Amino acid sequence: MADIRPEPGRGSATPLLDRVHRPADLRALDGSTLTALATEIRGFLIAEVSRSGGHLGPNLGTVELTIALHRVFESPRDRILWDTGHQSYAHKLLTGRKDFSRLRAKGGLSGYPSRAESEHDLIENSHASTALGWADGLAKAYRLAGRADRRVVAIVGDGALTGGMAWEGLNSLADQNLRVVVVVNDNGRSYAPTRGGLARHLSARRTAGGRRQRLREVPVAGAPLYRALHAMKTKITNMRAPQSLFQGLGVEYLGPVDGHDIAATEEALRQATRLDGPVVVHCVTRKGNGFAAAEQDELDRMHVVRPRSAAGGRPPADWTSVFADEMVRIGAERPDVVAVTAAMLEPVGLQAFAERYPDRVFDVGIAEQHAVTSAAGLSAGGAHPVVALYATFLNRAFDQVLMDVALHGCGVTFALDRAGATGSDGPSHNGMWDLSMLQLVPTMQIAAPRDGTRLRAQLREAIAVEGHPTMVRYPKGPVAPDIEPVARAGTAEILALPDGPGDVLIVAVGPMAAAALGAAGRLAAEGVAVTVVDPCWVKPLDAELLKLAEAHRLVVTVEDNGRVAGAGAALAQAMRDAGIHRPLHQAALPQEFLAQAGRDEVLEQAGLTARGIARDVAHALARLRVTDHEEVV
């Protein structure tokens, strides 16, 4: 095998990585060089991700596994599917994407696979447990087309196997006997330690594999590599486990194999390609491997790190921490309040609640559908569950919210973190769909707090409701400064009043209040009398809000949700139903998948700033001077 060395005088910190431009370049390297390459990749990731921010721990755990994958399979002819995509940074490097300077920033590399970036990425997988469904469909399509030369490989974290879709996919793979290689990247964790029966099964397989024959690094120096691989093949063959859960389902099983041993992993994958049906290759890895700070982090192995430039000093209070504090207080007052989440205990702010009330928190794994229906059961049994999720992940459980919680009149509160524009995690993570989806749910009550004080108060109001579901949504990032009302209109709160009759009513949903007030100030300087109101509860809308709308020439709604079926659309419908004929302008996020950028950048691009809102209002007023007969402008 060739021994690629740095060019004289090059002076690069990654001389081997610099000369790998595509996966085929890996096949010219021998064992010791591959080990050195893995070291370079790990050092690169630690340096670059620490600087830019991003998913560090998961990617440090998949370096050797990724090298082995690209040596065995010929991407993009063979399709490599990552589930979830936040473990694909080494894959990006080995497929020619080495500029991490703007990782997860506007114009930079995505934190997930991206079809726009590379032909080696087919699915932009940032929601877990879906890769086996993709693999099932791809393998069926290749079979129909007679493409026996193409293989499908899905890399599934052990945490993703807690999601029901993964098992639906695995069931279909076995039923159709599809030639799919399922690599279980088993590090015992999703965000935090993986829980449940599957986690115990994989742990037992790891222990049994260690008792039979503990894997060790294959010596390659001084002996042909094929001899070492032949010995490794014998080891892996001996580890086939008829009693494994997977084989009981009709899926072949190989492993466990040390996922940080490139030769062992490579040979396991090669053996999998020789089987004529679905096969699970069980790779044991360590999240954060090779970085002491990550390995010693018992909470999440440095799952996500903040940019180094922002890491100094004490971070400002954020929305999640306000929710976390108030949940602990409510828990002390209400022993019936329990918490449910889906493998996101710490990110959604339930860690402190779990420490105080360990018997009253339920982490169900990456299984949002189950989380919601289980919450319905908790409610039916006399508890009041608070289901805490990222807003984007509630998309996956709409049917359960509708048919299990709402239809059955269950008192369940949904706390949706990262609502609105989240930015850096890309289009899949913007929480811009919840107001539209949940407007469809009968009896649902929806609160959108504008600041920390309102979050505390509205969370308590939501939890006090029994007999139907409630939802409280709040964004990512530092909590907004408190804005006190100057008057009230039913449950709505008026934040600004002109001295005389108002020309424009701005209905500011939740954290958009500050931008709306800024716009009102700009418009006042131009002689436009503006009233700003926060509805507080955007479903149902208070009748007093409709009276306010009728008292103004123009109504403007401002929300960090998509325009279609959101709060603005709901107000327009309510006005029509009440016979109120006033023009209404909706300022909201465009109904499209928004490119990755910071939250402030996304809002600015959508015109959801004081300047943008004031400009839109001025244009709408100008059109009103031409005609007074339009209801929506």
How far, in Å, CA of 584 to CA of 73, rounded?
56
Residues 6+ positions from 271 with CB-CB distance below 8 Å: 233, 236, 237, 254
Which segments of 311-458 are extended strands (E)? 337-341, 361-363, 384-390, 413-417, 445-447
Q: What angle do CA 544, 615, 454 make, to 5 degrees?
A: 40
> What one-character-per-residue DSSP string does 484-525 give?
--SEEETTEEEEE--SSS-SEEEEE-GGGHHHHHHHHHHHHH
187 is in an annotated binding site: yes
398 is in an annotated binding site: no
> Which value, to the nearest 10 degrees, does the dihedral of the CA atoms of residues 45, 50, 53, 56 take?
50
Query: Which is catalytic among the residues 79, 287, 539, 599?
Result: 287
* 460 has catalytic annotation: no
* 476 has catalytic annotation: no
Q: Find the helix packing angle between 131-144 and 164-176, rounded to 10°.
A: 20
The two tokens of residue 41 are: 């990749």
The two tokens of residue 463 are: 């939890």
159 is in an annotated binding site: yes
Residues 6+ positions from 599 with CB-CB distance below 8 Å: 420, 421, 422, 423, 424, 475, 476, 477
Residues 6+ positions from 498 with CB-CB distance below 8 Å: 524, 529, 530, 531
| Helix residue ranges per DSSP H, 53-159 | 57-60, 63-72, 89-94, 131-144
How far, in Å, CA of 272 to CA of 280, rounded?
8
* 368 has catalytic annotation: yes
**Among the listed residues 24, 33, 47, the one whose alpha carbon sits nearest the alpha carbon of residue 95:** 24
**Among the listed residues 561, 553, 509, the one whose alpha carbon sits nearest the alpha carbon of residue 532:** 509
230 is in an annotated binding site: no
**Among the listed residues 547, 420, 531, the one whose alpha carbon sits nearest the alpha carbon of residue 477:** 420
Q: How far is CA 568 from CA 1, 449, 480, 571, 617, in A?
A: 65, 16, 22, 5, 15
Characterize 402-431 residue by residue with b for buried, 16 or more Cβ atoms within 10 angstroms of its Cβ, and e for exposed. Answer: bebbbeeebbbbbbbbbbbbbbbbbbbbbb
241 is in an annotated binding site: no
Q: How far is CA 471 from CA 213, 536, 551, in A?
A: 52, 12, 30
Characterize 119-155 residue by residue with b for buried, 16 or more Cβ atoms within 10 angstroms of its Cβ, and e for exposed. Answer: ebbbbbbbbbbbbbbbbbebbbebeeeeeeebbbbbb
Q: How far is CA 544 from CA 517, 522, 584, in A?
A: 20, 26, 17
158 is in an annotated binding site: yes
The tally of CA atoms less than 13 A away on the side-chain side of residue 118 is 27
127 is in an annotated binding site: yes
**Is the CA virtual torsion 140, 143, 144, 145 positive or negative?**
positive
177 is in an annotated binding site: no
**Is the CA virtual torsion 620, 626, 631, 633 positive or negative?**
negative
How far, in Å, CA of 70 to CA of 50, rounded?
26
587 is in an annotated binding site: no
59 is in an annotated binding site: no
Query: Which is catalytic among the residues 368, 461, 493, 559?
Result: 368
Query: Which is catalytic among the residues 189, 286, 396, 539?
Result: 396
The two tokens of residue 261 are: 């041993």
The two tokens of residue 64 are: 């050797």
Do 110 and 124 meet the contact criterion of CB atoms below 8 Å apart? yes
How far, in Å, CA of 116 to CA of 119, rounded?
8
- Residues in binding site: 86, 126-128, 158-160, 187, 291, 368
- Residues in binding site for thiamine diphosphate: 86, 126-128, 159-160, 187, 291, 368
Active-site residue list: 287, 368, 396
- Residues in binding site for Mg(2+): 158, 187
